Amino acid sequence: MAKVLVLYYSAYGHVEAMARAVAEGAAGAGAQVDVKRVPELVPAEVARAAHYKLDQAAPVATVAELADYDAIVIGTGTRFGRMGSQMASFLDQAGGLWARGALHGKVGAAFTSTATQHGGQETTLFSIITNLLHFGMVIVGLDYGHAGQMTLDEITGGSPYGSSTIAGGDGSRQPTDNELQGARYQGRVVAETAIRLHG
């Protein structure tokens, strides 16, 4: 059985919801799945004042445990067209894993959320994927088996580089059924790929 880690950072809960959907898809494919988050770096009083979602149940991951998984799916909200500093800081601490090739050949994937439709989803996904490639990981995107990413019937996230959602400028828009379906699909393909490579 392949072990999959869904590792995320979510300030307002949108990426957290996507992480759960990715995990559902991976578990449905027969993988053992853990959902964990990276530490918050924003001071507590600032996070409260900005209405961050501070009741997230997922445990906080450690860098060392990344080596324990066959696949790692990373999600974070976009910050000015790139991954959030919380996730970047966490990955920046993985130099020891990189140096010994601990993640070589493992499966990697990315998902994200932006405030607006053109707020940097693809550049954020690529900023995550760049890290994963440096770790030597095999990348799984969101292939067109999830046809929902091509719909013109609604505004939707999703691209070949990974699943995504759009939060709206005030954060009031929640992930749609189509976006969650894309996240589940990507999670399933990640798990299936990991099972083929490592199962």
**Binding residue ranges for NAD(+):** 12
Q: Give backbone dihedrals phi and psi of 166, rounded to 5 degrees, phi first.
A: -120, 125
Binding residues for FMN: 10-15, 78-80, 134
Class of residue 32 by CB neighbours under 10 A (exposed 0-12, middle 13-18, buried 19+) = middle
Identify each DSSP E strand in the chain by its residue range. Answer: 3-9, 32-37, 71-79, 82-83, 107-114, 138-139, 163-166
Binding residues for substrate: 98
Helix, strand, or coil (residue 90): helix
The answer to whether 32 touches 2, Cβ cutoff 8 Å, is: yes
d(CA 107, CA 143): 15
Which letter, b or e, does each residue of 86-115 get, where b requires 16 or more Cβ atoms within 10 Å of its Cβ?
bbbebbeebeebeeeebbeebbbbbbbbbb
d(CA 42, CA 174): 23
Class of residue 180 by CB neighbours under 10 A (exposed 0-12, middle 13-18, buried 19+) = buried
Binding residues: 10-15, 78-80, 98, 134
